[in-house]
């Protein structure tokens, strides 16, 4: 089906366009017909940030919320949290309870909940990654040692990582360390700031959830399908691996020696997920960040692509990933982005240089007639219906957007 735009414009009470109005706005349903039904609504500022500390405001939202299929994500995150809570041995029980209470408070207070609700998938990813070290060995599947190098040779004719790492140089070590050991960890924060300032209001929560769920499912795959990185082949050959074997910093050990530190050697040796080569989250993170930034700054796409290629080269040069790991991460990230782009991500508008210049937002939606037209008395927010009077008829596809903005636009 063809894609069209779901636009929010400002009109007067008679239904004629008036860009000077600030109190009312209609929703133009996805139909292309000029005589499509128009709904007059009150317009909250779409770039507002919630500043209230009143928890009763959150309680009222929860009570007024109508359950839908997307709420199943919170059931899934709850079970991930419960699993981590009981598997983790350190910290002790009292500290785990304090962490759980702090998170509960953060999603209850309006001023913090608008950030922590989209952060929940990222928190689940971080908790599960840390918890991986405590998963009992008898619960774990066997480690696949030969599958990645075999596929690498079959698909690409050789081990690209070994080829790139065959002639290490101090200059190459530094050039590989910068994106892999520094920029990779700071990039999500930089990208979040850029999206917050320059993208359409509502884009940041979409990026946060996309990043969180991609990383969470990546760690789940790595636990269910444990594989060895090139450093293992270089150190142990293709001999069977066991979970009591330590991880390795690979080429980052040379960086520690160069700077006289033990940072990467100690961190990667004690990694909670030493056998998590596939898919590469370094590749997935870089590709997802590049796709979101290209969505906001399309003219800078070559620059973002160069960053992705830089990350790919560094991961293979430092013997942390095979090329097939990178392709798996890239395909994973591209799939997540397309799902977000087609269903949740607001579109940038020409001439709008920051979030504060947006008067309405546009969402991509499928071009098919609604099963039922929304009633004229419906009140809506810029991302969908927020208040529906009793016995009103509804448009399912418009309604599906309403949960995107329940915790404020930022």
- Which of 127-131, 188-192, 240-244, 381-385 has the lowest average pLDDT? 381-385
- What confidence score (pLDDT) does residue 45 get? 54
> Quick one: 4 exposed, middle or buried, by C-beta within 10 A (0-12, 13-18, 19+)?
middle
**Average pLDDT over the chain, rounded to whole?**
79
- What confidence score (pLDDT) does residue 69 get? 86
Q: How would DSSP label each residue in 99-163?
A: HHHHHHHHTTSHHHHHHHHHHHHHHHHHHHHHHGGGS-GGGSPPPBSSHHHHHHHHHHSS-HHHH
- What confidence score (pLDDT) does residue 364 get? 57
Say if residue 160's pLDDT is above 70.
yes
- Beta strand pairing call for 379-381 and 362-366: unpaired
- What confidence score (pLDDT) does residue 380 get? 32
Instruction: Enter the tokens of residue 10.
Output: 């400002």
Say if residue 80's pLDDT is above 70.
yes
Residue that wins the pLDDT comparison between 259 and 19 = 259
Separation between Cα atoms, residue 344 and residue 402, nearest integer Å:
10
Full-model pTM = 0.78
Averaged pLDDT, 258-278: 91
Instruction: Enter the tokens of residue 239.
Output: 């001999």
- What confidence score (pLDDT) does residue 333 get? 96
pLDDT digits over 281-297, tens only? 999 999 999 999 999 99
pLDDT digits over 322-363, tens only? 999 999 999 999 999 999 998 888 888 888 888 887 777 777
């Amino acid at each position: 089906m063809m894609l069209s735009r779901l636009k929010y414009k400002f009109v007067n009470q008679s239904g004629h366009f008036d860009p000077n109005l600030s109190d009312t706005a209609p929703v133009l349903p996805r139909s292309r017909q000029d005589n499509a039904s128009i709904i007059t609504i009150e317009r909250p500022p779409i770039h507002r940030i919630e500043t209230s500390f009143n928890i009763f405001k959150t309680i009222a939202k929860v009570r007024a919320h109508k359950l839908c299929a997307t709420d199943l994500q919170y059931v899934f995150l709850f079970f991930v949290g419960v699993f981590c809570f009981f598997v983790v041995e350190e910290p002790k029980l009292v500290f785990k309870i304090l962490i759980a209470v702090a998170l509960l408070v953060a999603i209850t207070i309006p001023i913090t909940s608008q950030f922590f609700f989209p952060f929940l998938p990222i928190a689940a990813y971080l908790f599960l990654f840390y918890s991986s070290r405590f998963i009992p060995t008898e619960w774990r599947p066997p480690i696949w040692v030969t599958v990645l190098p075999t596929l690498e040779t079959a698909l690409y004719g050789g081990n690209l990582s070994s080829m790139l790492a065959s002639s290490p140089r101090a200059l190459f070590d530094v050039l590989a360390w910068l994106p892999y050991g520094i920029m990779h960890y700071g990039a999500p924060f930089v990208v979040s700031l850029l999206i917050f300032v320059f993208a359409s209001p509502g884009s940041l929560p979409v990026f946060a959830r996309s990043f969180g769920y991609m990383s969470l499912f990546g760690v789940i795959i790595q636990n269910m399908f444990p594989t060895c990185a090139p450093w293992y082949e270089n150190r142990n050959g293709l001999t069977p691996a066991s979970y009591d074997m330590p991880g390795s910093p690979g080429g980052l050990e040379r960086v520690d020696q160069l700077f006289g530190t033990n940072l990467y050697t100690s961190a990667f040796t004690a990694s909670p997920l030493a056998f998590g080569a596939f898919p590469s989250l370094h590749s997935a993170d870089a590709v997802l960040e590049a796709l979101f930034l290209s969505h906001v700054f399309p003219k800078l796409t070559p620059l973002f692509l160069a960053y992705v290629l830089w990350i790919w080269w560094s991961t293979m040069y430092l013997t942390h990933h095979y090329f097939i790991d990178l392709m798996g991460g890239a395909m994973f990230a591209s799939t997540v982005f397309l799902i977000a782009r087609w269903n949740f991500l607001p579109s940038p508008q020409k001439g709008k240089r920051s979030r504060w210049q947006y008067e309405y937002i546009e969402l991509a939606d499928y071009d098919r007639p609604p099963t039922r037209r929304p009633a004229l008395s419906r009140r809506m927010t810029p991302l969908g219906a927020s208040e529906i009077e009793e016995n009103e008829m509804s448009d399912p596809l418009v309604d599906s957007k309403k949960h995107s903005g329940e915790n404020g636009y930022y």
